[in-house]
């Protein structure tokens, strides 16, 4: 599905919901979420340009450091089952070391043995709409679509500095599940934005335990994974990041 078609489907669904959904104002209102944690990479392979650059692994050939991470989400629930959110999720990891071969990267040339600093930045801005098909005190299942703006940059610093930036739109599908056995305070949380296409793929998936402190406020802790990449003439990059995270979700 083309991005414009996907956005039209989301907009049409949202408009129908506004017109036909029953009002349940007591469940409506703004919500906010804040998450912090640490991220590390198990894969980060780059070749820039994709046609003619040197293959370089920022994980296997360089030493990639663990990076502190955070993300902020604000949202608004209306007519009980409809939910719109905006997310800001920056990510930057650094890798250092040297390789025993010449490296051609984004127009720069680095002789074998050159001390290198690679900076990998992948900032994400997302707007999500989802609809709760099931929403009870013990279980919620919701699905929708996400419009993502990717603001990315990979730079290599050594005898010179070269970099490749990329800003683009990525459509994703969203799935959200909350399960509280017996409607108790402890439960499980699953949230995912993901889509695959011939141009590449992207997945951002969270699995966490959650503790409800009182109605409208819960804490969560768990594992998040971010994976994906692209393979074309301008850039080859596939990366897989793992997060240990804690967060708080509040109905304002």
In this predicted model, what pLDDT tens digit does every residue of 154-170 receive, in sequence order? Answer: 999 999 999 999 998 99
Q: Which domains does the chain have, with CATH numbers?
A: 3-251 (2.40.128.90)
The pLDDT-based confidence of 199 (bands split at 50, 70, 90) is confident
Q: How far apart are CA 44 and CA 58, in angstroms?
A: 5
Nearest to 241 by CA among 62, 68, 50: 68
The pLDDT-based confidence of 24 (bands split at 50, 70, 90) is very low
pLDDT value at residue 3? 43
Nearest to 247 by CA among 82, 78, 73: 73
In this predicted model, what pLDDT tens digit does every residue of 33-78 receive, in sequence order? Answer: 999 999 999 999 999 999 999 999 999 999 999 999 999 999 999 9
In this predicted model, what pLDDT tens digit does every residue of 123-132 receive, in sequence order? Answer: 999 999 999 9
| CB distance 110 to 156 below 8 Å | yes
Q: Which pTM does this prediction carry?
A: 0.86
pLDDT value at residue 7? 46
């Amino acid at each position: 599905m083309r991005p414009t078609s996907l956005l039209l489907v989301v907009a049409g669904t949202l408009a129908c919901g506004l017109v036909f959904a029953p009002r349940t104002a007591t469940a409506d209102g703004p919500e906010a979420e804040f998450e912090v944690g640490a991220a590390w990479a198990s894969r980060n392979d780059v070749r820039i340009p994709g046609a003619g650059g040197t293959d370089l692994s920022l994980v296997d050939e360089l030493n990639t450091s663990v990076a502190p991470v955070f993300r902020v989400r604000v949202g608004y629930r209306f007519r009980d089952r409809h939910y719109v959110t905006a997310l800001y999720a920056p990510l930057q990891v650094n890798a250092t070391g040297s390789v025993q071969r010449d490296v051609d990267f984004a127009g720069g040339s680095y002789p074998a043995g050159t001390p290198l600093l690679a900076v990998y930045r992948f900032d994400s801005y997302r707007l999500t709409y989802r609809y709760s098909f099931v929403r009870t005190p013990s279980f919620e299942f919701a699905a929708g679509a996400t419009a993502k703006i990717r603001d990315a940059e990979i730079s290599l610093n050594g005898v010179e500095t070269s970099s490749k930036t990329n800003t683009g739109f990525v459509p994703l599908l969203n799935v959200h599940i909350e399960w509280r056995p017996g409607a108790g305070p402890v439960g499980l949380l699953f949230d995912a934005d993901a889509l695959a296409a011939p141009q590449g793929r992207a997945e951002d998936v969270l699995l966490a335990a959650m503790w409800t402190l009182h109605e409208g406020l819960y804490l969560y802790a768990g594992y998040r994974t971010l994976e994906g990449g692209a393979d074309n003439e301008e850039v080859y990059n596939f990366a897989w990041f793992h997060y240990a995270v804690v967060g708080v979700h509040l109905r304002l």
